[in-house]
A and B are shown apart, each in its own frame.
Chain A
Amino acid sequence: MSGEKPGKPNTERLFFREAIARAVREEMRRNARVIVLGQDVGAFGGSYREFDGLFAEFGPARVRDTPVAENAMVGVGVGLAAGGFRPLVSITYMDFLMLGLDPLFNYGAKLRFKSAGRMTAPLVVKTTAGAKGQGVAHSQCIESWLMGVPGLKVVAPSNPADAYLLMKAALRETGPLVYVDHKRLFPGAGDVPLDEEVGAIGVAQILRAGTDVTLTAHSFMVRVALEAAQRLADDGISCEVIDLRSLSPLDVETIARSAQRTGALLTLEEGQLTCGVGAEVSARVAERIGPLRAARVGPLPAPVSSNPLLEAAVVPDAGRVVAAAKALLGARFAAAAEDAIITNEGGGD
C-alpha cells in the first residue's frame, strides 16, 4: 500500500506535498462541503505548496486565506463543521496549534458527546511538525498532547502514499482529527496509488520484518528508524520497524503482536519523551502482553535551537537508535552502547 519501492504497478510518483494536494482536490471535487482555510493557502498554495492548484480550481470561497489567528481558525473550523461543512484548517506549524487548543479540545472534541450524538464536528486540522532549522517555537512535535483527548483522532503519515490515503480518510471522518506532517517529509517522493483509494485510520504498518527487536516510529522518524534498522542488520540484529501512522486510535494490537514475537520494544519519536508517544506505546503494549524489555528514544529534554549544530544534537538520529537497540538487547552489545554519545534519558526525570 505504501510506496517505498519506486516503480510499483498502478502507482504514480508524487512528492509528499503533491500527495496531500491530490487527496484534498479529489475530496473537494467529490464533496462541495469540503473547505480549506488557513494562512497562505490561497494563491500562494500553502507554505509547502501542499495546496497547489486548489485556489485556481475551487476559488476563494472554498480555499480561503485567513488572518494570522490560530485560535479563531480552529474555532471557525469547529463552527463550520457543526454547521454542515467539512473544513480543513491549515495551521502552518504545530507550535501554533497551541493557540487553537481551546476550540479543538473544549468544543470540537466534545461536541458529539455533549449533544448526546446529535451534533458532530468533522474538522481536519492539518499542521506541520518537526525540526528543520527554525528554532525553539517552530520545531516542536506535540502530537502526544493530543492523544489523550477523547473524541479527537490523530494521524501522522511518513510517506506520500499514506499522506494521500490518510488525508482522504481524514476528510471523511465523523469527528475532529489532527493530521500531522513534517517539514523534512516534504522534499521526499514516493509511489501513490493511481486509483482513488481511502486509507484506514487506526492501522499501523509493518514496514520491515524482523525478529530481534520491534521499533516503532511515526512521521519523519520512520525514515530514521528504517536507516537504523539497516545499520542494525549490518551488525546482525534483525529489527522489525512499525510505522504507527495513527496515534489516536493507536493500533496496539499490531505493535503488541510484533513485540511478543521479538521480545523487545524500542520506541522512537521526535517529540519529548515525558508523557510522549513512546511512553504510551510501551505502557499499552506491556498492559497487553506483560513485562518486556523496552526503551524509548527521543530528543534531549531541551528546546530545539535554530543553530543547526545544536538542533542535530537534540533531535534523535539513526546512531542513537542503533545504540539504544544494542543496549536494550543486552550484554552482547553493551560495549557498543557505551560508545553512544548521548544516552536515552527522558526530560524531567
Chain B
Amino acid sequence: MTPRQQLRTMKLIRAFETALAVRRDHGFQLLSSGEEAVAVGLCAALGAADQLLTGGRSIGFALARGLDPQRLLAELLGKSTGLNGGVAGRGHVNDAASGFFGAHAVVGGNLTIAAGLALARQLAGEKSIVAVAFGDGACGSGALHEALNLAAIWRLPLVFVCNDNQLSVSTPRKYALAPAHLADLARPYGIPARTVDGMDVEAVADAAREAIETVRSGRGPAFMECLSLRFASHSTTARETRSKPELEAIRARCPIRAFEAKLIARGDLDPAQVTDLDLAIAAEIAAAAVFADASAPPRLDEALANVW
C-alpha cells in the first residue's frame, strides 16, 4: 500500500462507518472511528496469503484487508449478497479466502484459534503468517496468556496486535489492567514486543513490517501494542460515558486528518487530489448502499443451512 492508498483506505473506513451509523436498519454496530490507522497500518504490512483474525470491532480491518465494501455493507445489513450470505453479520463477518478469517465477538476468543491457524501453517511448511488483532479488553483474559505461551514454546508464525483503545465498553483500562504497557505482557515469554503510536498509520505500518518480518523468518511470534483512541461509544446503541470536552480533545487527534496534512506537507498530495479522493470515496459508499439496498434478505430456510 502506498501512502496515498493508506490515506484512501482510512478515509473509506471512516466514510463507511459514518454512513452505516446514520442508517436505522443495521441493528447496532461496533465502530472503529479514530482507530483507522491501526487497521490500515497492520494490513499495509500483511501479505495476500497471510490470515487476519479480529475481535468484534472489525469493519476497519475488513476494509483494510481489501474486502469489497458493497458485500461488507450487505453482510452488515443482513442481505443475501453479503460476504457470508447475510448470516454472520456484525461481530462474525469473515472471508478467509481473502485473508480475513474474521471477526470474533467474544473478547479473547480469537487468540487461541489464531494460534491453531498459525500451527497449521507451520505444520504445512507454509511461509504465510497469521495476525490476530484484539483490544486492551482481551488483555485481561486468560486466553492471552495461553496463546502467548503456546506461540512462544512452539515458535508459531503469529503476530499479536493489541489495539489499545483505552476502553472496554465503558471501563477505562486503568481500572481493568495492571500493566502500564500491554507490550510488557509478551516479554516474559521472550516474545519481541513494541508499543507504537496507533494514531500514526506509518508508525503502525513500520512496526508491523518489522514484526511480520521477524515472524515470517521463522523466529517465532511478535507482539505490538498500538495506542489508539476510540471516537465513538462502544457501540451505536451504547451510552457514551466520556465528557464532551474529553471527546472533543480525543477527536481532535484524528489519524486521518493528521496523515493527510503530513502527506500535503511532504508534497505527496495536493489539496485538489484530496477533494477528488473524498468525492470518489463518497461515490463508492453510495454505490455500496445502493447495492445493499437492492439486495434481497436471505431466505428463511437459510437459518437451517450449513449448520452440520
Contacts and interface: CB of A to CB of B under 8 A. Distances in A.
A226 to B, nearest CB: 31
A107 B117 contact: no
Interface stretch (B27-35, B59-67, B88-96, B282-290): B88-96
A115 interface: yes
Contacts of B115: 72, 75-76, 79
B46 interface: no
B124 A84 contact: yes
A162 B94 CA distance: 38
B116 interface: yes
Interface in A37-81: 61, 66-67, 69, 71-72, 74-81
Contacts of B114: 79
Contact of A106 (B109, B121, B146): B109
B84 A83 contact: no
A83 B101 CA distance: 10
A67, A72, A84 — most chain B CB neighbours (10 Å): A72
Interface residues of A, number: 38
Given A116-B87, A118-B96, A79 B306 contact: no
A74 B112 CA distance: 8
Contacts of B84: 114-116
Contact of B106 (A35, A77, A102): A102
A85 interface: yes
A83 B115 CA distance: 11
B81 to A, nearest CB: 11
A82 interface: yes
Contacts of A82: 96, 101, 113, 116-117, 120
Contacts of B254: none
A151 interface: yes
A79 B142 CA distance: 18
B109 A115 contact: no
A87, A110, A113, A116 — most chain B CB neighbours (10 Å): A116
Contacts of B102: 114-115
Contact of B112 (A35, A103, A115, A116): A103
A317 B100 CA distance: 52
Contacts of B119: 76, 79-80, 83
A286 interface: no
B113 A78 contact: yes
Nearest to B154: A64
Contact of A81 (B116, B143, B150): B116
Interface residues of B, number: 37
Interface in A100-132: 102-103, 106-107, 110, 112-119
B123 A75 contact: no
A81 B115 CA distance: 12
A316 interface: no
Contacts of A75: 109, 111-113, 115-116, 143, 146-147
Contact of A79 (B87, B88, B120, B308): B120
B49 to A, nearest CB: 12
Interface in B232-284: none
B52 to A, nearest CB: 13
A103 B149 contact: no
A299 interface: no
Interface string A168-190: 00000011000000000000000
5 closest Cβ contacts across the A-B interface?
A: A79-B116, A75-B112, A83-B120, A72-B146, A76-B116
6 contacts: A61-B123, A71-B146, A75-B111, A113-B307, A114-B88, A116-B306
Given A69-B146, A75-B115, A82-B116, 18 more contacts: A67-B149, A67-B153, A69-B150, A71-B146, A72-B115, A72-B149, A79-B112, A84-B124, A85-B120, A103-B112, A106-B106, A112-B306, A113-B305, A113-B307, A114-B92, A116-B85, A117-B306, A151-B307
